Structure 1
């Protein structure tokens, strides 16, 4: 059995299914290039038949990267497979990932079918995909809740049909680690011809066991893991790439290696977090803000005497630097460009760098120190210039015993509008004023405020969910003034349903 574990990254497919975290094609290419530098073996670039945008993303990602295999997801439907093959036309290494649900629950309620019909559909889909590409991966959706004997029949049949990889997803995150590990072991022992294909894990984190289940799968014979950056993904997320990579790096006794350059982990983590407007929880393993922080006096004393008393990893191994360049109002463009590079954002366009630098200077005047999270926010904020609706000015009067009043100015496709309104607090007043200009029946469904880092002068992030015309739109705003950030998030929602 090989001691090499293949890393299949699905950040651009499963990871992007998080509400409000969709990326455009340019952003997907940025992430794909960083994934290539990170050393992932397979990039699942999208679900081509789902939308023209997804199709185009697979096409452009195929052109942008060189050595990783580019994978396109399909259902076990010939039209899906046709479209996937077309989207992969420029890929140097291409894979079609097709499959169908195999649990009794899926067979009965999702497909209104039988076990035999599902098996036939699976074999037919793999054989059809094989006409287009040599590398075909089959997924047995909800394998975690599929009875092992039937699952082994399906796996054996699709391998005979030509599948080179067979994915065993714990789609609902239900399995216990021992249960999932035993499932992989059962397949390794009972499937005739199992040596002709790689077995892959794909675990979800609904019960917080995605990484544990994935590791048990690997220990029992799986040699591909399907993971995402920061563990993002449907519902509670997927297995974190960084966790699996560092577990194997720290536990060398396991004897399994990956191709991952772990020093690239932190930069791509911050890049994905910034592009998807999805903050990393401070206590997140490996990449969280507090992952290498020590506040307990006992811990601090131990670390000062010998870092290994409380740290099992060197921060440099995941791309964190001990001697970071601190950005202030006196920092130049070179320092800004360097910090962006460290965080996975390379900007060659000098005019764009200059715009970000000017915004950086304005922010640095308000803050004593500009953080990496701040500059990532600035690097993504310049795209707002292309929006039809933008904020010209906002003035709010508020305080204890005083009714909040807001005056607002908007630029809508070059035309100026102004309005004022009172409200129950400064944010409510500002949004009411905005609605006086934008006469649409919009309902605020979700409103979340989060500080990027620590301190009263830090940039605050606001995430909003607005319902309009029966659809949900997600908006994001960031500013040292939280009321302004709230209005910008609301405007971001408006721009999305105006497009």
Structure 2
């Protein structure tokens, strides 16, 4: 039985009908590098190693471990993770400098991500150099890294605001130098699904090298853009746990993995560890995801409406796309102001109690008058009310 059948959910049949399944993909999680660029977030070496182990157990293919030239501690951490014996390949960031590649070599990583920006905005205001000067540095660095046996990802920072013909030309030149990937970074999150598809498709027409997509969430479309890039032919999809990262963050790992599973039936990742990993990163980063955060938010499988609760008790598929256990979560039925008698009866029964109709009416009245109603009644509080009714009567 497949994971899909076993966990009883309905995928997107329209996608099946359109035959748009992106099969040849891999995940590169950048939590340890881009995620740590979240203001106020610093992971210890032990925390980074723990996160790496969890990512590896999920089946993530590439882990971007850091930026070694930042500090000696960062370099040591990248090296430690590279030597952990993970199934995932390790990657680190590099500027277009051979000295950065030397740091990567010292760390024993499998892949180096050499980045430059080619947008006019960055060339003028960040580098104060011409595009040709930047590309010349990048190609020299790519050649040096390849000569030293590294996989090379050549990343165009701010690609989404760079002329497409410029990207094509530079990627073709990098391809001649043997790069293993070319990467499109939507650095300020300006893309939408349509423009993402167009950009990846245009590059794919001209370049044979596998394409990576790196989406930021400034407009709240990072997950959608990442999945659309996969449809257009991008191979490597970049994510962070809980979507942490600079400004509004990156494409969340948990959303991308579940999007791949539900929409495209890509089920090679162990999604049951997503909630535990989310809680780990929440603790280490001291950033709590919104309660309504998709997949891992505390309300992702919480139900209060009476109509919903009754249907959930009959068949969870009525109001849940997939079982919470599929992502390591738990269902939570809340008693609150929207809970009717029938739903209340079902919740009480699920807790192992049986109340007569007049007792249920009394319980509903107690719930309505409870000062905790604004936040919903906890299971323990509800059990106290039930026991009080059973003990003292109506």
When normalised by structure 1's length, the TM-score is: 0.61
- Residues 189-235 of structure 1: CA distance to partner in whole angstroms, max 9, x if unpaired? 123xx1xx221110000111111111111110001101011111111
Aligned-partner SS, 2:83: helix
Quote the Cα distance in structure 1 between the aligned partners of 2:376 and 2:155. 43
Tell me: CA distance 1:258–1:4, structure 2 relative to 1, closer, same or farther (3 Å): farther
Deviation at residue 139 of structure 1 after TM alignment: 0.6
Q: Does 1:309 align with 2:318?
A: yes
Equivalent position of 2:95 in the other structure: 75
Q: Is the 8 A contact 1:231 1:237 kept in 2?
A: yes
Select 1:263's aligned residue among 256, 260, 272.
Answer: 272
Quote the Cα distance in structure 2 between the aligned partners of 1:143 and 1:6. 20
Aligned-partner SS, 2:303: coil
Equivalent position of 1:162 in the other structure: 178
Quote the Cα distance in structure 1 between the aligned partners of 2:75 and 2:273. 28
Deviation at residue 175 of structure 1 after TM alignment: 1.2
Q: Is the 8 A contact 2:53 2:86 kept in 1?
A: no
Select 1:17's aligned residue among 34, 37, 52.
Answer: 37
Equivalent position of 1:273 in the other structure: 282
Q: Does 1:226 align with 2:271?
A: no
Deviation at residue 122 of structure 1 after TM alignment: 2.2
Equivalent position of 1:201 in the other structure: 213
Q: Does 1:123 align with 2:132?
A: no
Equivalent position of 1:104 in the other structure: 120
* Structure (1/2) with the larger helix percentage: 2
Query: 5 Å matches for 1:389-468?
Result: none
Tell me: CA distance 1:76–1:16, structure 2 relative to 1, closer, same or farther (3 Å): same
Q: Is the 8 A contact 1:100 1:122 kept in 2?
A: yes
Q: Is the 8 A contact 2:22 2:233 kept in 1?
A: no
Equivalent position of 1:236 in the other structure: 248
Tell me: CA distance 1:167–1:14, structure 2 relative to 1, closer, same or farther (3 Å): same
Structure 1 residue ranges without an equivalent (≥5): 324-452, 457-499
Equivalent position of 2:151 in the other structure: 135
Tell me: CA distance 1:236–1:65, structure 2 relative to 1, closer, same or farther (3 Å): farther
Select 2:166's aligned residue among 144, 150, 168.
Answer: 150
Tell me: CA distance 1:236–1:454, structure 2 relative to 1, closer, same or farther (3 Å): farther
Deviation at residue 66 of structure 1 after TM alignment: 2.3
Q: Does 1:291 align with 2:311?
A: no
Tell me: CA distance 1:258–1:131, structure 2 relative to 1, closer, same or farther (3 Å): farther
- Residues 422-464 of structure 1: CA distance to partner in whole angstroms, max 9, x if unpaired? xxxxxxxxxxxxxxxxxxxxxxxxxxxxxxx9999xxxxxxxx
Q: Is the 8 A contact 2:296 2:329 kept in 1?
A: no
Equivalent position of 1:61 in the other structure: 81
Deviation at residue 150 of structure 1 after TM alignment: 0.6
Deviation at residue 31 of structure 1 after TM alignment: 0.9
Aligned-partner SS, 2:302: coil
Quote the Cα distance in structure 2 between the aligned partners of 1:232 and 1:118. 29
Which of structures 1 and 2 has the larger relative contact order (alpha carbons within 8 angstroms, sep 6+)?
A: 2
Quote the Cα distance in structure 2 between the aligned partners of 1:205 and 1:72. 22
Q: Is the 8 A contact 1:7 1:258 kept in 2?
A: no
Alignment RMSD: 2.0
Deviation at residue 250 of structure 1 after TM alignment: 1.0
Structure 2 residue ranges without an equivalent (≥5): 1-20, 333-374, 379-394
Deviation at residue 63 of structure 1 after TM alignment: 1.8
Q: Does 1:47 align with 2:63?
A: no
Tell me: CA distance 1:209–1:198, structure 2 relative to 1, closer, same or farther (3 Å): same
- Residues 365-423 of structure 1: CA distance to partner in whole angstroms, max 9, x if unpaired? xxxxxxxxxxxxxxxxxxxxxxxxxxxxxxxxxxxxxxxxxxxxxxxxxxxxxxxxxxx
Aligned-partner SS, 1:7: strand
Quote the Cα distance in structure 2 between the aligned partners of 1:7 and 1:82. 25
Q: Does 1:248 align with 2:260?
A: yes
Aligned length: 316
* Structure (1/2) with the larger strand percentage: 1
- Residues 304-347 of structure 1: CA distance to partner in whole angstroms, max 9, x if unpaired? 23211111111111012569xxxxxxxxxxxxxxxxxxxxxxxx
Tell me: CA distance 1:455–1:277, structure 2 relative to 1, closer, same or farther (3 Å): farther
Quote the Cα distance in structure 1 between the aligned partners of 2:248 and 2:315. 36
